[in-house]
Structure 1
Amino acid sequence: MYRDLSQPIETGMTTFPSDPDVSVEPAATVEADGYRVSEIHCGSHTGTHVDAPSHVGFDDSLDAFDLDRFVFDATVVDCTAFGVREAIGPSVLPNGHGDRDMIVFRTGWDEHWGSPRYVDHPYLSGACVERCVDAGWSVGLDTLNPDPTRSGSHDGGGVPAHRALLGNGLLIVENLTNLAGLDRCRLFAVPLSLPDGDGSPVRAFARER
């Protein structure tokens, strides 16, 4: 049984502040042309997507990773008790390393997708990120960012979680959804074939174990 974990790509959807706006518009129609084609305009970090190390200045882009690196043995941890711009500590993480290679942080913040509140999500504390790095865990989240997202009077504080994870060859999958009730799973987040890609939208889905 597979579960879709992806936000749909559509005109006017939520994006990271200052990222390109998204549009999906007709380029050809059956009525006028005999076939249908859509023109899609978006950034490389649109919707549910995976970040490459080159996103924050490291050498490796998406094409440096074998395809099997985008299939994860994941554990979902419940972080729904954390509130607006609250740091998630390492206490939510499982003991030991186990046979997993990704931790998915379910904050429930995908409920705010499409609203201004979505940028005010919880984020990963330095100690939580350090634990993930030590264990060799990539990270998935149902938020815009493992770091605080800049917005209004909030400057965001940079991208230390990105740099720690991506700098150690661990991947980040952002803007997941539909995580409620999911525990151990095989999570698929395969990017588009973008040479030198700093990130890519994915069709993320999971198979429960």
Structure 2
Amino acid sequence: MFRDCSRPIETGMPTYPGDPDVSLAPDATHEADGYATSELRTGTHAGTHVDAPRHTLPEGEAIDERGVGKFAFDARLVDSRPLTPREPIGAEALPDPDAIDPDVDLLVVRTGWAAHWGTDRYRDHPYLTAAAAERCRAAGVGVGLDTFGPDPTPAAGGANPDPDTPDEPDGTPAHDALLRGSLPIVENLCGLDGLPARFRLYAFPLRLRDGDGSPVRAVAEWED
């Protein structure tokens, strides 16, 4: 069976704070030109996408430097629900490296935050602690998430909406830990409910020269 786990690319879709807005508009039309083309303006991290090490590491590998087969993953689903807004996901919430099958190369962490896509609350997603990212690095597995990313995202208005939330890390420690290990990060996944514990995930990027990331069509495949 196959399932599309990617967000549609469309004008005005949610983007990470500060990233370029997305627009998809007609260029040529059947009525005026006899054929149709469109103009797409987007950042490299819009919608469902993969990060290249160059995203946070200046000397990191670019998206077009990685073999295409590296974007076909043997995935294991990790259901972390229920979680509260901006809750840190610690190493203890992830499988022990010794308990991960050798053929698994991506942990897909289901936080449940896909349900908040298109709202301000989507920014208040749970995030991986540096220790959790280091556990993934020790196991040699990347991470897929139904959120903006493995690190905290600035809240709407730039402030933490919950004064009782523990201090959040500065910078991008989870990104850095994973990308330093040349491990994949797939962000803004959706459609994770009902997936089996093990499946294949295909997330092929555009071949962007020296790219720091790329939108993908993320597709899960498993045996019925």
Please give the per-residue CA displacement for 1:137-189, whole angstroms capped at 9, x wherever unaligned. 01100000100012311486210000000011101000000001212110000
Does residue 74 of the first structure (1) align with residue 88 of the second (2)?
no
Aligned to 1:131: 135
Does residue 19 of the first structure (1) align with residue 19 of the second (2)?
yes
What is the count of residue pairs matched by the alignment? 209
Does residue 161 of the first structure (1) align with residue 174 of the second (2)?
yes
Q: 1:177 aligns with which of 171, 190, 198?
A: 190
Q: TM-score, normalised by structure 1?
A: 0.96
Question: 1:72 deviation in Å?
Answer: 0.4
Distance in 2 (alpha carbons) for counterparts of 1:179 and 1:156: 27
Q: Indicate the SS of the match to 2:204.
A: coil
Aligned to 2:38: 38
Distance in 1 (alpha carbons) for counterparts of 2:194 and 2:94: 17
Aligned to 2:93: 92
Please give the per-residue CA displacement for 1:25-45, whole angstroms capped at 9, x wherever unaligned. 110100000001111110000
Question: 1:82 deviation in Å?
Answer: 1.3
Higher mean Cα deviation, 114-123 or 85-94?
85-94
- 8 Å CA contact 2:27, 2:37 repeated in 1: yes
- 8 Å CA contact 1:149, 1:156 repeated in 2: no
Does residue 142 of the first structure (1) align with residue 146 of the second (2)?
yes
Question: 1:110 deviation in Å?
Answer: 0.7
Identity %: 56
Mark the runs of 5 or more structure 1 residues left unpaired by the alignment. Answer: none
Distance in 1 (alpha carbons) for counterparts of 2:203 and 2:169: 26
Mark the runs of 5 or more structure 2 residues left unpaired by the alignment. Answer: 161-167
Q: Which amino acid aligns with 1:153?
A: A
Please give the per-residue CA displacement for 1:49-78, whole angstroms capped at 9, x wherever unaligned. 000000012321011211110010000111
Aligned to 2:8: 8
Higher mean Cα deviation, 17-26 or 76-85?
76-85
Q: CA RMSD in A?
A: 1.2
- 8 Å CA contact 2:200, 2:221 repeated in 1: yes
